Amino acid sequence: MPTKAELQRLRSLRDKKHRETAGLFVVEGEKVVGELLAAGFGFEEIHATADWPGAATHRLTPEEMAKASHFPTPSSVLAVGRIIRRPLPPTGLARGLTLLLDGVQDPGNVGTLLRIADWFALDRVVLSPDSADLFSQKVINASMGSFARMTVHTAEPASALAGLPAATPVLGCDLTGADVHTLEPRRDAVIVIGSEGRGLSAATKPLITRYVTIPRYGGAESLNAAVAAAIVCDNLRRVTA
C-alpha cells in the first residue's frame, strides 16, 4: 500500500520544478499511456487501479489514484518516466532532415509538431530551451505517441546551426521567402519554426540560409506554426522521397 508521501510525490511530478529535481515526469490516462507503451516507451513505474487492463508496477485503489492524480476524474493509470534530454548527435545536424523549434511555446503546438515530424519521418527534432517543456503532459498528449518515436534533442538553435556545410540548407519560414513549391530535392536540411508570437529569434535569423513562404491567396495574416511546418515537410518530401 502506498504511503501518503508516495502519493504526494506522484502528484507533485506534474509540477515542472519537482519533476526536474526528481528527473522524472508523469503522464496520466489510458489513451496516452497506451500510445507510449505501444510505441515501446519504457516507463520507470506504472501505477494503476484494477480497471487498467495492462501491466503495472504498483496497484492503487481508486481513492489512492484520486490522491496521486491531477484529473478531476482520475483515469485508471498514471505512469512515471525518466527525463532524458539528449544533446546534439556528434555529427550535428549536417545529415538528414531536422525540424528545429525556436521558441515554440504552446505545448499543443510542440506536440503536434512532433507528430508531424514523425509522420514525415524526419530524422530528429531539436527543441530550444525556451520552447514548451517536452516532458509536460500537454506536449506528450498532443504528440499522439510520437513523443516515444521521435528522437528529440535539446540545444540552443544558434549553436545547433553553427558550422553546417553548405549542402545542408537552413530553411526559415516567413512571409517573404521563396515559394515553398520551388524547393529542390534535399536529403539534408534543417527546417526552423519560430515562436507563435515573435517568429524566429534574433540569434537564429543570421543562420537561415534560405527563407521559404507558403503562397497566400486570401486574407489571413499567417498560418499556425504546426500547419506551416507540415506544408513545408509535405513539399520537401514530395521532391526528396
Q: Which are the contacts of 72, defined by CB distance < 8 A and separation ≥ 6?
A: none
CB of 214 to a second copy, least distance (A): 6
Q: Which is nearer to a second copy, 69 or 143 (CB)?
A: 143
Residue 153 cell numbers, joined: 534533442
Q: Which is nearer to a second copy, 3 or 182 (CB)?
A: 182
Q: Which is nearer to a second copy, 39 or 88 (CB)?
A: 39
Q: What residues make contact with a second copy under the rule CB under 8 A? A: 39, 108, 112, 115-122, 144-146, 149, 180-181, 214-224, 226-227, 230-231, 234-235, 237-238, 241
CB of 212 to a second copy, least distance (A): 12
What's the distance, Cα to Cα, between the start and end of the chain in Å?
53
CB of 230 to a second copy, least distance (A): 5
Q: Which are the contacts of 232, defined by CB distance < 8 A and separation ≥ 6?
A: 171, 173, 180, 183, 191, 212, 214
Q: Taking the mean position of all CA atoms in its chain, how far away is CA 66? A: 28
CB of 112 to a second copy, least distance (A): 6
CB of 82 to a second copy, least distance (A): 21
CA dihedral 63, 67, 70, 76 (to 10 degrees): -40
Q: Which of 179, 183, 177, 121 is nearest to 149 (CA)?
A: 121
